[in-house]
């Protein structure tokens, strides 16, 4: 009788511990003893890189469950066949392919991948990049240690000199920090619930690298910014779109969208966002051939930097419609 009571008590304690592991998300990230990490990658005709990416996920250090979400953006039939055949023969961890019959761009493609995530943590990476072996365990340990909603690491081209930096910062005002430090790229881990809360990447834009950091920061309590290299990139690829006009366009409108979507931003945050907007307009005008001293957008940018003055949001939008008119860009 005593034996049965002891066994029952142990069972109750174990059940209670499992419940705590699920509820205490901000501390443990564990379900059933092991955390589930979901890696999300957008895919467009880059099958040649996928085996290397998967290999780098396969060899991640630490005890956790893995899941890879490959969100396709209407790749060619041949690329899809190669991808499907490879995934069908792979059995070391689950891989989901999210198909698309239309090419919508990386931002919307990422969001389709996010919808399919089952894990508590999302780790984003570009299809042609690979992880450092300790990337996942480092991300998670830092998030747990500092109760952070997301973390950004560093990227480095493959073959470059090893980076031994271990510095990191814990930031309690993520949005102001992301604006000031111009953080972009797919080199982060985030709580799934926070990433979904902010809507993932901005679907109104084409490039996800520009909008994800800002949107994440807008809904996060705390972030970690680390100097540790967690991702190695293909040096032949820039990471961002090679279309510079597209970069300027998405950078400008990601700022406008944040300003439109949030009415409670501090004055300093609004000023920082407008700085980015003015800079984007001037750079686009410059790339179209405008000279510094004859461009009104140059003077608007300079006066804003020197005296913290800026046109209204509506005037900036009007200027953008003129500057980006006729440019080879996609609008989400």
pLDDT at 27 over 50: no
Strand partners, 231: 131, 155
- What residue ranges define each of the domains in the chain, with the CATH number in brackets? 29-233 (3.90.550.10), 244-323 (no CATH)
First to last CA, the chain: 67
Cα separation of 84 and 200, whole Å?
Answer: 26
pLDDT of 24: 27
Instruction: Dump pLDDT digits (tens) for 173-196.
Output: 999 999 999 998 899 999 999 999
277 vs 234, residue with greater confidence: 277
pLDDT at 11 over 90: no
Tell me which H or E stretch contains 254.
Answer: helix 244-261
Beta strands per DSSP E along the chain? 36-43, 65-72, 95-98, 121-124, 130-131, 150-157, 168-171, 188-191, 223-233
pLDDT of 188: 97
pLDDT at 26 over 50: no
What value does the CA radius of gyration of the chain take, rounded to a whole number of Å?
22
pLDDT at 255 over 90: yes
């Amino acid at each position: 009788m005593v034996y049965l009571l002891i066994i029952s008590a142990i069972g109750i304690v174990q059940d209670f511990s499992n419940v705590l592991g699920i509820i205490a998300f901000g501390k443990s990230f564990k379900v059933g003893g092991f955390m589930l990490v979901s890696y999300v990658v957008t895919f467009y005709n880059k099958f040649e890189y996928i085996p290397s990416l998967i290999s780098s996920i396969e060899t991640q250090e630490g005890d956790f469950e893995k899941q890879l979400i490959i969100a396709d953006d209407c790749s060619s039939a041949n690329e899809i066949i190669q991808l499907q055949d490879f995934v069908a023969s792979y059995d070391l961890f689950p891989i989901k392919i999210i198909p698309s019959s239309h090419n919508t761009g990386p931002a919307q493609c990422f969001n389709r991948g996010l919808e399919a995530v089952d894990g508590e943590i999302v780790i984003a990476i570009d299809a042609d990049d690979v992880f450092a072996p300790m990337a996942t365990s480092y991300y998670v340990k830092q998030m747990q240690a500092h109760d952070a909603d997301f973390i950004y690491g560093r990227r480095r081209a493959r073959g470059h000199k090893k980076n031994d930096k271990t510095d990191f910062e814990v930031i309690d005002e993520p949005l102001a920090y992301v604006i000031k430090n111009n953080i972009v790229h797919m080199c982060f881990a985030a709580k799934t619930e926070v990433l979904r809360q902010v809507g993932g990447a901005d679907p109104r834009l084409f490039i996800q690298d520009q909008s994800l950091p800002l949107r994440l920061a807008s809904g996060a309590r705390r972030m970690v910014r680390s100097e540790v290299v967690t991702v190695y990139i293909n040096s032949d690829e820039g990471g961002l779109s090679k279309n510079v006009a597209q970069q300027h366009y998405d950078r400008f409108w990601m700022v406008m969208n944040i300003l439109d979507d949030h009415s409670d931003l501090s004055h300093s945050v609004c000023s920082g966002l407008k700085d980015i907007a003015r800079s984007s307009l001037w750079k686009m005008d410059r790339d179209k051939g405008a000279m510094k001293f004859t461009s009104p957008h140059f003077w608007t940018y300079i006066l804003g930097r020197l005296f913290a003055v800026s046109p209204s949001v509506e005037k900036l939008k009007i200027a953008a419609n003129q500057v980006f008119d006729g440019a080879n860009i996609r609008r989400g």
